[in-house]
Amino acid sequence: MTRVFIARVLTVAAFLVAVPLAAAEPAKGDPKAGRALVYTCGGCHGVAGYVNAYPNYRVPKIVGQNYDYLVAALTGYKKGDRAHPTMRAQGESLSEQDIINIASYLSSITP
């Protein structure tokens, strides 16, 4: 075997290994764009110990939350699969890209 042939085989092998690994990583959004969209979130989610008036429960902290969870939750509110009037209104106002950007920003913060 020639060196050129071996180099080509190794290049193809490296490519075949790298492509599935890159495809397995979910597309993350733009954290800077997400930061610009979360200005209203802190009113409830940024207050330590805040209890929502209706329905009555502690408002979860979203800073540092898992990316996939944030995307699923916001998408659920957008589609009406999650029932919370305020969050549904927030979700309905967001595009899919907005949701990805918000999740990217919030999940990148260390609480």
Q: What DSSP line would sit under 3-44, residue for residue? A: HHHHHHHHHHHHHHHHHHHHHHSPPP--HHHHHHHGGGTHHH
Q: Structural domain tally of the chain?
A: 1
Q: Are 103 and 74 in contact (CB under 8 A)?
A: yes
Tell me, yes or no, whether 13 lies in a domain.
no
The parent domain of residue 43 ranges over 28-108
Tell me, yes or no, whether 20 lies in a domain.
no
SS3 assignment, position 71: helix
Residue 15: pLDDT above 90?
Answer: no
Task: Calculate the CA 8 to chain-centre distance.
Answer: 38
Tens digits of residue pLDDT in 65-105 = 999 999 999 999 999 999 888 899 999 999 999 999 999 99
